[in-house]
Amino acid sequence: MLPDRLAPDDFAAAPRTHEGRLALARMPHLAPLLAAAEGEAWLQIASSLDEHGQRVLEGRIEAAVPLTCQRCLGLYRYPVAEAFRVVVVGSEAEGEDLPAEAEPYVSAGPVQPQAVAEEEILLALPAVALHPSGACEAPAHDAGAQRETLSPFAVLRGRVRSDGEDGA
């Protein structure tokens, strides 16, 4: 079972591993990008303290994210399979003090595994969702009209990404 939150006490020298499934449609930044409100992510996450006493989250995220292919406008399940390792810091400034190779994760209070998973998925998504070459469905007759209605999502997606980078 995945805990909803990991408090500072949940981090110790000996790693504690949790795993479970998360509904993609319940992830607030990811949900507006989905072509269908379906699908789950599998998350494995281990909490530990490193030799400097800093909180570390290490794990793996796997998901098939339903996106709309921008070439044929068909449903495209984008495969995400990412390993991650982040160091939990209380502020952006604290993150800047980390060694260059460390990826900071800013969280003032307890860490929500779902939020870590969502951020990793958003970082893994392509800038433009496209089926692999040759795998497109035959384009629909009204493809042009559908493309018009899709553009707000592209705008929203750009905004969500820059929010994320602010550490919100």
Least distance CB 118 / Zn ion (angstroms): 25
For residues 164 and 168, give the distance between their C-alpha atoms in angstroms, rounded to a whole number.
6
Which residue do the tokens 């969702």 mark? 129
Closer to Zn ion at the Cβ: 49 or 136? 136
Q: Are 98 and 104 in contact (CB under 8 A)?
A: yes
Least distance CB 81 / Zn ion (angstroms): 21
Closer to Zn ion at the Cβ: 136 or 160? 136
Run of H or E including 161: helix 143-165
For residues 28 and 160, give the distance between their C-alpha atoms in angstroms, rounded to a whole number.
10
Footprint on this chain of Zn ion (rule: CB under 5 A): 69, 71-72, 74, 131, 136
* Three-state secondary structure call for residue 13: coil
Residue 104 main-chain phi, psi, to 5 deg: -75, 145
Closer to Zn ion at the Cβ: 106 or 136? 136
Closer to Zn ion at the Cβ: 121 or 129? 129
Closer to Zn ion at the Cβ: 23 or 135? 135
Tokens coding 157:
């997606």
Least distance CB 138 / Zn ion (angstroms): 10
Length reported for the chain? 168
Least distance CB 33 / Zn ion (angstroms): 16
